[in-house]
Amino acid sequence: MSRVAAFGLGAALVALLLASLLVGPAEAGPFASLRAFLFGGEGPLTLVMREIRLPRALLGAMVGASLGLSGAALQGYLRNPLAEPGLVGVSGGAALGAVISLQTGFALAFPLALPAAALAGALCAVLLILLLAGARGGALTLILAGVAISALAAALVSLVLNLSPNPFAASEIVFWMMGSLADRSFAHVAVAAPFMALGVALLLPLRRGLDALTLGEDAAASLGVRLARLRTMLVLGVASLVGAATAVAGAVGFVGLVAPHLVRPLVGSRPGALLPAAALAGAALTLAADVAVRIVAPERDLKLGVMMALVGAPFFLHLVWRQRGAGA
């Protein structure tokens, strides 16, 4: 990525973080808000800025970066531009894992039980998708397998929440399937951060391997890429990132699809260089969507996934159209 592009992305991210801090129902001017945020002081505005808006903004960036990075990694490994954690059912699997652990009480068993369960759900979905559509399967097989896994995961999430003894659980199907960052706290940041760090640590070293893989598996192997190891790290890394993101914010779709495509022109056709760029773009995109839901329908808790799908689905259709043109 050129230095200018990197600077541009970074500046956009900072601006969106700032916007995320300044949008909310507590009607205070931007200067008063920032003063309360930076210098504190008595009064509820400091509390609102530091304990309600800051974790939301941070979590938005973290969730977006995780999904963007996962999407770029999946697209690079499968050499398929339609791969995305939401579309291929990984987010759905993570949501199922999270919901089961919450309703059975396993989520309280030990401190990181909730994201661990979401990771396990995501892992099952990634393994299933690789088994069904693998690196050699075409785009169509991948999407069909993804549709089936997503549908099954969504149905099971609904089933678990409908069977819950909790009267509020069933109405939260939409949270788990669409995702939201409303009223998240630093507790959620702490829950998500460790597995997100693990996912980044697993995926970023794969840059060279993913680049080599563009030449084909045999060529990559002859260049010294250990394919089995690459696949294991990729699967675990994607599951960690998507599991952690979904455990705290629900399944947010399309970030992993749109973010890599937005920055691909900036980095050329090297999937390795795409990874960090897609993470930055994913963070910016998710923050933008989260600011938008608060401006469009401040009173309604419009779900993040709705906003992302409004942008992402037409984009997806465009990609499908292009694939058709390419005769894939």
Residues near other proteins (CB under 8 A)? 24-26, 28, 44-45, 47-48, 51-53, 102-103, 105, 107, 164-169, 171-172, 175, 183, 185-187, 299, 301
**In the complex, what is the shortest distance from the CB of residue 171 to other proteins, in angstroms, rounded to a whole number?**
7
Judged by beta carbon, residue 47 or residue 147, the one nearer other proteins is 47
Shortest spacing between CB 186 and other proteins, in angstroms: 6
Query: What ranges make up the beta strands (E) of the chain?
Result: none
C-beta of 120 vs 129, nearer to other proteins? 120
Contacts (Cβ under 8 Å, ≥6 apart) of 214:
76, 79, 269, 270, 271
Q: Tell me the two tokens of residue 325.
A: 């043109």
**What is the Cα–Cα distance from 111 to 244, expressed in whole angstroms?**
13
Minimum Å gap between C-beta 53 and other proteins is 8
Query: Are the CB atoms for 303 and 290 separated by under 8 Å?
Result: no
For residue 51, what are the CA distances in angstroms to 37, 44, 222, 230, 302? 10, 10, 52, 39, 21
* C-alpha torsion sign, points 58, 62, 68, 69: positive
Nearest distance in Å: CB 160, other proteins: 10
Q: Name the residue nearer to other proteins (CB basis): 187 or 296.
A: 187
> How does 263-273 read in b/e, with b if 16+ C-beta sit within 10 Å?
bbebbeebbbb
Closer to other proteins by Cβ: residue 14 or 163: 163
> What's the CA gap between 118 and 82, in Å, rounded?
23
Nearer to other proteins, 103 or 323 (CB): 103
Q: Which residue has the tokens 């299933």?
A: 128
> Rounded to the nearest whole angstrom, what is the least distance from the CB of residue 256 to other proteins in the complex?
23
CA angle 281, 83, 237 (to 5 degrees): 70
Q: Work out how close the CB of 51 gets to other proteins at its nearest, in angstroms, rounded to a whole number.
A: 4
Measured from the CB atom, the residue of 3 and 300 that comes closer to other proteins is: 300
CB 269 within 8 A of CB 76: no
